[in-house]
Chain A
Amino acid sequence: MSNAPASVPALEVADLRKTYATGVEALKGISLTVQAGDFYALLGPNGAGKSTLIGIISSLVNPSSGDVRVFGHSVRTDRSRAMQMIGLVPQEINFNLFETPLDICINQAGFYGIERGVARERAEKYLKELALWDKANAVTRTLSGGMKRRLILARALMHRPRLLILDEPTAGVDIEIRRSMWKFIEGINAAGTTVILTTHYLEEAEQLCRNITIIDRGQVIENTSMRKLLAKLDVETFVFDVADANGELPQLADVRLARVDDHTIEAEMSRAHDLNSLFAALSARGITVRSMRNKANRLEELFVRLVEGNLGAKEAAA
Chain B
Amino acid sequence: MNLQRNLIALGTIARREIVRILRIWAQTLLPPAVTMTLYFIIFGNLIGSRIGTIATDSAGAGISYVEYIAPGLIMMAVIQNAYGNITSSFFGAKFQRFVEEMLVSPMPSWAILAGYVSGAVLRGLMVGLIVLAISLFFTKIHLYHPLVTLSTFLLAAVIFALLGFVNAIYARKFDDIAIIPTFVLTPLTYLGGVFYNVAQLPSPWKEISHLNPILYMVNAFRYGLLGISDIDLTWAYLIMLAFVVVLATYCMSLLSRGVGLRS
User: Which A residues contact B (CB, under 8 angstroms)?
Assistant: 20-21, 55, 58-62, 79-84, 86, 88, 90, 92, 94-98, 103, 107-108, 110-115, 155, 159
Most buried by A among B93, B105, B262: B105
Query: With the chains together, A159 CA to B102 CA distance in Å?
Result: 13
Q: Are B100 and A111 in contact (CB under 8 A)?
A: no
Query: With the chains together, A82 CA to B19 CA distance in Å?
Result: 30
Minimum Cβ distance to chain B for residue A155 (Å): 8
Minimum Cβ distance to chain B for residue A115 (Å): 6
Minimum Cβ distance to chain B for residue A108 (Å): 6
Most buried by B among A79, A107, A113: A113
Q: Are A96 and B96 in contact (CB under 8 A)?
A: yes
Q: Are A58 and B106 in contact (CB under 8 A)?
A: no
Q: Which residue of B lies closest to A115 (CB)?
A: B8
Query: With the chains together, A159 CA to B107 CA distance in Å?
Result: 13
Interface size of B in residues (CB-CB distance below 8 Å): 30
Residues of A within 8 A of B108 (CB): 80
Q: Which residue of A lies closest to B6 (CB)?
A: A113
- The yes or no answer to B260 lying at the interface (CB within 8 A) is no
Residues of A within 8 A of B2 (CB): 113
- Given A80-B106, A111-B12, check contact A94 B100 (CB 8 Å): yes
Instruction: Tell me which of B8, B96, B97, B104 contacts A110 (CB under 8 A).
Output: B8
- The yes or no answer to B1 lying at the interface (CB within 8 A) is yes
Query: With the chains together, A79 CA to B222 CA distance in Å?
Result: 46
User: Which B residues contact A (CB, under 8 angstroms)?
Assistant: 1-2, 4-6, 8-9, 11-13, 15-16, 19, 23, 93, 96-98, 100-108, 258, 262-263
Query: With the chains together, A79 CA to B106 CA distance in Å?
Result: 7
Dominant secondary structure of chain B at its interface with chain A:
helix
Instruction: Tell me which of B4, B19, B263 contacts A55 (CB under 8 A).
Output: B263
Q: Are B96 and A107 in contact (CB under 8 A)?
A: no
Residues of A within 8 A of B105 (CB): 83, 108, 111-112, 159
Residues of B within 8 A of A59 (CB): 103-104, 262
Query: With the chains together, A90 CA to B97 CA distance in Å?
Result: 11
Query: With the chains together, A149 CA to B100 CA distance in Å?
Result: 16
Minimum Cβ distance to chain B for residue A53 (Å): 13
Minimum Cβ distance to chain B for residue A245 (Å): 51
Residues of B within 8 A of A94 (CB): 96-98, 100-101
Query: With the chains together, A160 CA to B145 CA distance in Å?
Result: 50
Residues of B within 8 A of A60 (CB): 100, 103-104, 262-263
Residues of A within 8 A of B23 (CB): 98
> With A97-B96, A108-B101 given, can you name 18 additional A-B contacts, CB distance below 8 Å?
A60-B100, A62-B262, A94-B96, A94-B98, A95-B101, A96-B96, A103-B16, A107-B12, A108-B105, A110-B9, A110-B11, A110-B15, A111-B102, A112-B9, A112-B107, A113-B2, A113-B5, A114-B8
Minimum Cβ distance to chain A for residue B119 (Å): 13
Residues of A within 8 A of B258 (CB): 62
Query: With the chains together, A81 CA to B2 CA distance in Å?
Result: 11
Q: Which residue of B lies closest to A81 (CB)?
A: B106
Q: Are A62 and B263 in contact (CB under 8 A)?
A: yes
Minimum Cβ distance to chain A for residue B30 (Å): 18
Query: With the chains together, A79 CA to B108 CA distance in Å?
Result: 9
Minimum Cβ distance to chain B for residue A113 (Å): 2
Q: Are A96 and B102 in contact (CB under 8 A)?
A: no
Instruction: Tell me which of B16, B19, B96, B263 contacts A20 (CB under 8 A).
Output: B263
Query: With the chains together, A96 CA to B95 CA distance in Å?
Result: 10
Query: With the chains together, A65 CA to B93 CA distance in Å?
Result: 29
- Given A55-B263, A92-B97, A97-B96, check contact A86 B12 (CB 8 Å): no
Residues of B within 8 A of A20 (CB): 263
What would be 20 A-B contacts, judged by CB atoms less than 8 Å apart? A80-B1, A80-B106, A80-B108, A82-B106, A83-B104, A83-B106, A90-B100, A92-B97, A94-B100, A96-B96, A96-B98, A97-B96, A103-B19, A108-B105, A110-B8, A110-B15, A112-B5, A112-B9, A113-B5, A113-B107
